[in-house]
């Protein structure tokens, strides 16, 4: 084997080892939202027409963001909020325990990539904080339009961007 072939082979091996690291270095985007407007406060209510419109709008907003995971609690309103995004991107909705989100957070961190997480007014700010973001003010009982975009840098730093999701008219 000539010296040039050895160097070329070594260079290919080095590049193949570095390529996954370079890919992993890309920032990840995690979107966290509260479920859409719900029909009442009793039991496990479904979304209202306005809540379904908001869920459709969230899917439209996120359709080109490279979402690879969609997470929801087990309630009807969170599943119905997550469903349009999951359907649009042909992804399953993964269920997490709102009271014990550590397993979901560990999986998000381990797998990387972009994700949508749907929760509740009393859980989304906590999730933002647990993921390293700035949650800001509490989410009010009648507030459904807040969308957190967490940008997780290759160095683990997290930048929080607050967006809005008005329902489709």
The rounded distance, in Å, linking the Cα atoms of 19 and 31 is 26
- Residues (pLDDT < 70) of the chain are 1-25, 168-169
| 55 located within any domain | yes
| 108 located within any domain | yes
How high is the pLDDT of residue 10?
A: 41
Query: Based on the structure, what is the number of domains in the chain?
Result: 1
How high is the pLDDT of residue 168?
A: 61
| 123 located within any domain | yes
How high is the pLDDT of residue 169?
A: 56
The CATH number of the domain holding residue 155 is 3.40.50.1240
Secondary structure, 3-state, 151-166: EECCCCCEEEEEEECC
| 6 located within any domain | no
How high is the pLDDT of residue 25?
A: 53
Q: Are 81 and 61 in contact (CB under 8 A)?
A: no
Q: In this structure, are strands 146-152 and 28-34 parallel, antiparallel, or unpaired? A: antiparallel
**pTM (2 decimals)?**
0.83
Cβ neighbours for 61, distance < 8 A, ≥ 6 positions apart: 147, 163, 165
């Amino acid at each position: 084997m000539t010296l040039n072939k050895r160097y070329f082979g070594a260079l290919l091996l080095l590049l193949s080892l570095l390529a996954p690291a370079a890919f992993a270095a890309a920032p990840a985007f995690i979107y966290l939202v509260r479920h859409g407007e719900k029909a009442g406060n009793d039991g496990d209510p479904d979304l209202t027409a306005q809540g379904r419109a908001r869920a459709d709008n969230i899917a439209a907003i996120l359709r080109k963001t490279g979402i690879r995971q969609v997470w929801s609690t087990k309630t009807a309103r969170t599943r119905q909020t997550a469903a349009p995004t999951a359907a649009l991107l042909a992804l399953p909705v993964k269920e997490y325990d709102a009271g014990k989100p550590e397993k979901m957070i560990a999986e998000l961190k381990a797998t990387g990539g972009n994700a949508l997480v749907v929760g509740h007014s009393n859980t989304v700010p906590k999730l933002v904080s647990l993921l390293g973001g700035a949650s800001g003010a509490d989410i009010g009982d009648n507030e459904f339009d807040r969308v957190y975009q967490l940008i997780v840098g290759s160095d683990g730093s997290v930048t929080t961007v607050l967006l809005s999701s008005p329902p489709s008219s």
